[in-house]
Amino acid sequence: MSTDAAADRPQITLITPPAFELEVFPDRLARVLDGAEIACVRLALATKDEDMILRAGDACRLVAHERDVAIVIENHVLMVERLGLDGVHLTDGARSVRKVRKDLGADAIVGAFCGTSRHEGMNAGEAGADYAAFGPVGETALGKGERVEFDLFEWWSQVIEVPSIAEGALTADLVAKFGPVTDFFGIGEEIWAAEDPLASLKALMAPLG
């Protein structure tokens, strides 16, 4: 692969499972970070248990920062400073971006998940988001069954400077298709169920060379 091709290759945002065992997961995370080039880790816990979030966030931050990888947390803005994280991933589109950017400052990562809405993504970018994530890209029985169209990413890559993330139910075929038009792939559920998440990640990204 040429240097130009490498520069154009989408980067990876690694999304944690919604729940994991603290005795096991940090080692699994470390193995993936050691074996693949990861731009950012997203702590995406489903629990509302503050103590659990603090302990999980602490463990994952240590693993990520030891390897100079940024780490953000889904939605829990107050945890960013408390845990020494790099920023937050908001799941309510553009709604909170402006306020959170003001609260966390210019240096923090503030990202927004915008579903399948081009309009929401544009609003998030204008409000100060560092990226707009769209999904699901693949077929899933979850949510309303909507999928983000290839055309959105194609248009976004040509018109908008704010980086995009393609995520949700990714397959190797979809990685091959969306690779030329997205800046990042958000990968999580696709690999963590595998016995060897790193091998699973490499297989998923293989079409990009």
The DSSP secondary structure of 4-51, one letter per residue, reads: HHHHHSPEEEEEPPSS--TTTHHHHHHHHHHHS--SEEEE------HH
Angle of the 150-159 helix axis to the 118-127 helix axis, nearest 10: 30
Residue 4 has pLDDT above 50, yes or no: no
pLDDT tens digit sequence for 41-97: 999 999 999 999 999 999 999 999 999 999 999 999 999 999 999 999 999 999 999
pTM of the model: 0.95
Contacts of 209 (CB under 8 A, 6+ apart): 1, 5, 9
pLDDT digits (tens, 9 = 90+) for 106-125: 999 999 999 999 999 999 99
| pLDDT surpasses 80 at 141 | no
Q: Is the pLDDT of residue 2 over 80?
A: no
Query: Are 184 and 131 spatial neighbours (Cβ–Cβ below 8 Å)?
Result: yes
Alpha-carbon gap, residue 37 to 7, rounded angstroms = 13
Mean pLDDT of 159-186: 98
Confidence of residue 7 (pLDDT cuts 50, 70, 90): low
**Average pLDDT value for the chain:** 95
**pLDDT tens-digit map of 8-37:** 799 999 999 999 999 999 999 999 999 999
Domain spanning 3-198 has what CATH number?
3.20.20.70
152 has a pLDDT exceeding 60:
yes
In the chain, the percentage of residues whose pLDDT exceeds 70 is: 96
Q: Which of the 8 DSSP states describes residue 115?
A: T
Decide if 42 contacts 186 (C-beta within 8 A). yes
Query: Is residue 144 very low, low, confident or very high in pLDDT (cuts 50, 70, 90)?
Result: confident
